[in-house]
Amino acid sequence: MNIDKKVYAYCTAQSYKIDGLYDFLQDKYKISLVRDVIVVESDNKNLAFIFSYGVCVLWNFDYESEKRLLEHLLKFTTKPIDEHIVEHFAYHIDDKVSLSIKHDIIILPQNPTLFCLALSHALAQSIKLSWFETSIAKVIQQTSYISESMANDGKIPLSRKQIAKERGRIFSEKSKILLQYDLLDTPEFIWEHPELEIFYLNFARYFEVKPRVELLNKKFEILQEIMEMLADEQNHQHSSMLEWIIIILILIEIVLVFFH
Query: Do 103 and 27 contact (CB within 8 A), yes or no?
Result: no
**CATH, residue 14:** 3.30.310.10
Residues 248 and 151 in one domain: yes
184 part of a folded domain: yes
Task: Work out the percent of the chain whose per-residue pLDDT is above 70.
Answer: 89
Residues 142 and 252 in one domain: yes
Residues 81 and 170 in one domain: no
Residues 248 and 148 in one domain: yes
Which pLDDT score, from 0 to 100, does residue 180 have? Answer: 76
Q: How confident is the model at residue 243 (pLDDT cuts 50, 70, 90)?
A: low
CA 42 to chain CA centroid, Å, is: 28
pLDDT in tens, 136-155: 888 888 888 777 877 787 77
User: Exposed, middle or buried, 193 (CB in 10 Å: 0-12/13-18/19+)?
Assistant: middle
- Distance between CA atoms of 18 and 82, rounded to whole angstroms? 20
Residues 23 and 70 in one domain: yes
- Is the pLDDT higher at 144 or at 46? 46
Query: Do 130 and 137 contact (CB within 8 A), yes or no?
Result: no
205 part of a folded domain: yes
Residues 235 and 137 in one domain: yes
Residues 99 and 161 in one domain: no
Does residue 235 surpass a pLDDT of 70? no
14 part of a folded domain: yes
Among 8, 248, 219, 218, smallest CA distance to 106 is for 8
- Residue 80: give the domain boundaries: 5-112
- Distance between CA atoms of 48 and 40, rounded to whole angstroms? 5
126 part of a folded domain: no
- Is the pLDDT higher at 80 or at 110? 80
68 part of a folded domain: yes
79 part of a folded domain: yes
Residues 41 and 92 in one domain: yes
Count of domains forming the chain = 2
127 part of a folded domain: no
Residues 251 and 137 in one domain: yes
Final residue belonging to a domain, choices 79, 112, 145: 112
Which of 60-64, 227-231, 233-237 has the largest mean confidence? 60-64
Final residue belonging to a domain, choices 112, 145, 170: 112
Which pLDDT score, from 0 to 100, does residue 3 have? Answer: 55
- Distance between CA atoms of 171 and 140, rounded to whole angstroms? 12
